[in-house]
Amino acid sequence: MDANERIAYVGEEFVPEAKATVSILDHAVLYGDGVFETVVAWKGRIFKLDAHVRRFLRSCAAVALDCPVTQEHLTELIVETVRRNGLENAYIKWILTRGSNGTPLMDPAGCVPNLIIMARPYIDRSSATGLRVKTVAVRRPPGHVLDAHVKSLNYLNLVMAKVEAKAAGADQALILDVHGRLCEAPGFNIFVSADGVLKTPRHDVLRGITRETTMELATERGLQVQETELELYDAYTADEVFLTSTAGGLVPVVEVDGRTVGDGKPGPVLSALQEDYRNALASARWSTPIG
C-alpha cells in the first residue's frame, strides 16, 4: 500500500495520505504546538482506545486546545480511519495541532485547531534480546517547565536524549529528572523488578497506558507493584529492567550504563507479563472492534 492508497483524515475529511497536508503556518510546524496519541490495533481490535481518547482530551485541556469533535465522534473517526485502510494490525496516530491564524507569529489568538488521523500497518519493533541503555546528560523537565503528563508534540527533549544515547553507542536513552531520579526512556516508561517487587517512577513521567496495563497485569499475577521514586542505583541493582509503550510493547533492558542487568537476558517477570500482554491485546477485555 503506498501513500496514494492509504487514507488519512485531515481538514475535516478523509483524503489519500499523499494529499494530506498541513499549512506551513500551522503552530505544530512552527512551534511543536499540539497534542497527539498513538494506539495499536491487533487482530481487528484497537487496544484501550477509550483510555487513549480520554488521555488525549486531558492533554487538549491541559494545553488549552479545543478538540473540534466530541469524544464519541473522535472515537468513530479513529475506527473509520483504520477501516478505510483495511488494516487488522495497525499503528494509529492522531494529532490535534494548534492550527494557524494566517501569520507565523507565536500568537495562538485566532488559530483554528486541525485534527489529523493516520493508520499504518503494525510493525513489530520489540527486541527479543534486550536493549543496552545509557543515562544521558539531558534531563526530563519538571512539570512546571513542561508537564510530562501532557502528550504534546514538543518532543525535542526526548529526541535529544535519543540522539545522545545513539551517539554513545547505546540502543536507548535513560532520562533522569533534574534531581537525578529515574524518569523515562524516549517514548517509553520504565520498570525495575527487584526481590519480587515491580517498581516504576511516579514523577515527571507520562502516565503511559502500557505502564498502567503492566501494573494491572502484574497485580493480577499477585506481584507487588509500586509507583515510587527510583534512583539509578535501583536500575543498576535490579533483577530485571524493562520499558513499556503502546508502539513497542514490553521491551527488555539487559544493560544499564555498562552494568549487566540480572544475568544479561530477559527475565521471568518480563516474560510472564509479555505473555499476559499479548493475550490482553488479542482479547475483547480492553479492546474495541474495528468492525
Name the residues that contact ligand PMP, by CB under 6 A: 38, 158, 184, 187-189, 206, 208-211, 244-246
User: Which C-beta is closer to ligand PMP: that of 14 or that of 36?
Assistant: 36
Q: How many residues does the chain have?
A: 291
We find the least distance from the C-beta atom of residue 151 to ligand PMP, in angstroms, to be: 6
We find the least distance from the C-beta atom of residue 208 to ligand PMP, in angstroms, to be: 3
Largest CA distance in the chain: 58
User: Which C-beta is closer to ligand PMP: that of 94 or that of 100?
Assistant: 94
Please tell me whether residue 36 adopts helix, strand or coil conformation. strand
User: Which C-beta is closer to ligand PMP: that of 85 or that of 210?
Assistant: 210
CA distance 272 to 230: 23
Angle at 79 between CA 75 and CA 83, to 5 degrees: 165
User: Which C-beta is closer to ligand PMP: that of 25 or that of 146?
Assistant: 146
- Distance of CA 22 to CAs 25, 29, 99, Å? 8, 8, 9
Cell of 11: 481538514
We find the least distance from the C-beta atom of residue 45 to ligand PMP, in angstroms, to be: 17
User: Which C-beta is closer to ligand PMP: that of 99 or that of 201?
Assistant: 201
- Reference 202, options 232, 162, 229; nearest CA is 229
User: Which C-beta is closer to ligand PMP: that of 158 or that of 225?
Assistant: 158
We find the least distance from the C-beta atom of residue 55 to ligand PMP, in angstroms, to be: 7
Q: Give me the residue whose beta carbon is nearest to ligand PMP.
A: 208
Cβ neighbours for 75, distance < 8 A, ≥ 6 positions apart: 49, 50, 53, 288
The amino acid occupying position 121 is P
We find the least distance from the C-beta atom of residue 243 to ligand PMP, in angstroms, to be: 8
We find the least distance from the C-beta atom of residue 249 to ligand PMP, in angstroms, to be: 9
User: Are the C-beta atoms of 133 and 236 separated by less than 8 Å?
Assistant: no
User: Are the C-beta atoms of 187 and 205 separated by less than 8 Å?
Assistant: no
